[in-house]
Structure 1
Amino acid sequence: MRRALARGLIPVFIVQFFAWTGMFALWIYTTPVVIERLSPGATSDSPEYLNGLTWVGICFACYALLSAVLNFAQPWVFAKIGRMQAYAAALLLGASGIGLVPFAEGPSALLGCFALIGIAWSLISTIPYAVGSELAREDEIAKVMNIIAFSVVIPQVIAVLLFGLVTRSLFSGHVAATMELGAASMAVAAVAVLALRVGVKPPAS
C-alpha cells in the first residue's frame, strides 16, 4: 500500500477504534442497564423483566430507523457545517446518548438517549467508507474498504476480552460504569476527528 494512503488511513483507524468501542459497550450492556433502571430487582421470568426487554428492542429499532432516515439529510448537513464537523458533532451526541442511558428515568427519556445514538450511528456507518474511497485510487478502493471493515474487528475483540474484566475488577460488577466508559471512548473519537484531520487527502507518493 502507498505510504501516503497509509498515512491517510491511520486517523480513520484511530477514530474507528474509539467510536466502535463505544458502540460495543452500548450493544453489550444496554439490556442489563435498562432492565436495572426500568425494572430494578426484576427476575428473568417476571413481567417487569420482559417489559424491560421490550423497551430495549424498541430503542434499538428506533435508533436504527432514525439513522436510516438521517442518511438522506447528510448532504444538506454537510453543506451547512462541513462533513468532518458534522461527524465530530454526531459522535459527541452519540457519546451523550450512551452516557445518559444509565440515568434515563423512563421510556421517554430512554428514547431520547437512543435518538442521539441514532444520529451518531448514521455517520459512523457511512463516513469512514466515504473517506477511504476518496483517499484511494480506483484500483485500491476494494482493498481499502476491506481494511476499514477490519478496523471494526479490533475494538470488537477488545470489548469481548476486556470489558468483562474491567467491569469486575474496576467497577465491582456495575455494568453502567462500563457503559460510561464506552461513552467516554466515543467522545474521544469526536475530538480525534478534528484533531487528526480525518478526511484530509494525503499527498501523492
Structure 2
Amino acid sequence: MLPPEVALSFFGIAILLALSPGPDNLFVLMQSAMWGRRAGLWVVLGLCTGLIGHSVAVAVGLAAVFSASAMAFTAVKLMGAAYLVYLAWGALRAGATVDSGERPARQTAMQLYRRGIIMNLTNPKVSIFFLAFLPQFASPTRGPIGLQMLLLGGLFIVATLWVFGAIALFSGAIGERLKKSARAQIWLNRCAGVVFLGLAARLLVTQR
C-alpha cells in the first residue's frame, strides 16, 4: 500500500503536471469551446479512461515494449497523428450555422467519450511517461509493485479529472458565448483545426 505522505506528494505533483500546458488539456479546451461544457466533460472522461489503459500497461510491463521497440512506438504515433488530422479536417470544413437558424450537428456523448479515449491511447509518450514517473513513488517493501502502479495511476487520474474538468467548464462557458456570433463560430472552428494540426505535427516529431 501507499503511505499517506507518499500519496499526498504524488497527488500534488500530478495536479501540477495536469495544469502544465500539453496536448491533452489543450484538446479538452478546444473540444469544450466547440461543443460546450457537457461535451468537454465527456472528452475528459474519455481521456481519463485512456489513462487507465496506460496505468495497466505500466503495471503489466507493456509500456516497456513501446520504450524498447521503435516500430511499435512509431505505429501508435502515426495512428494518433492521423486521427488528429481527421479532426482538424472536420473543424476546418465546418462553417457557421447561426444565420440560417440551423443547429450544428452535435456529437453524441459516446462519440465524445470515444474521442477522448482514442486521443489518449494513441499517444505512446503517455505510457513511457508513466513508466518513468510512477516507479519513483513505489517500493518493493510496500507490497506488489504492480498494485502500487495501479494505485498511483488511479491518483493521477483523479488529479487529471479535477484539472481537466475545470478546464472543460471554463472553456465551455466561453465557447457558448462565441457561438452566438457567426463570425466567432467560424473563427473558433478554424482555430480548432489549426490546434489539431499542431498537435498532430507535435506527435509526429515526438521521439522516444
TM over 0.5: no
TM-score band by shorter chain is 0.3 to 0.5
TM-score, L = length of structure 1:
0.45
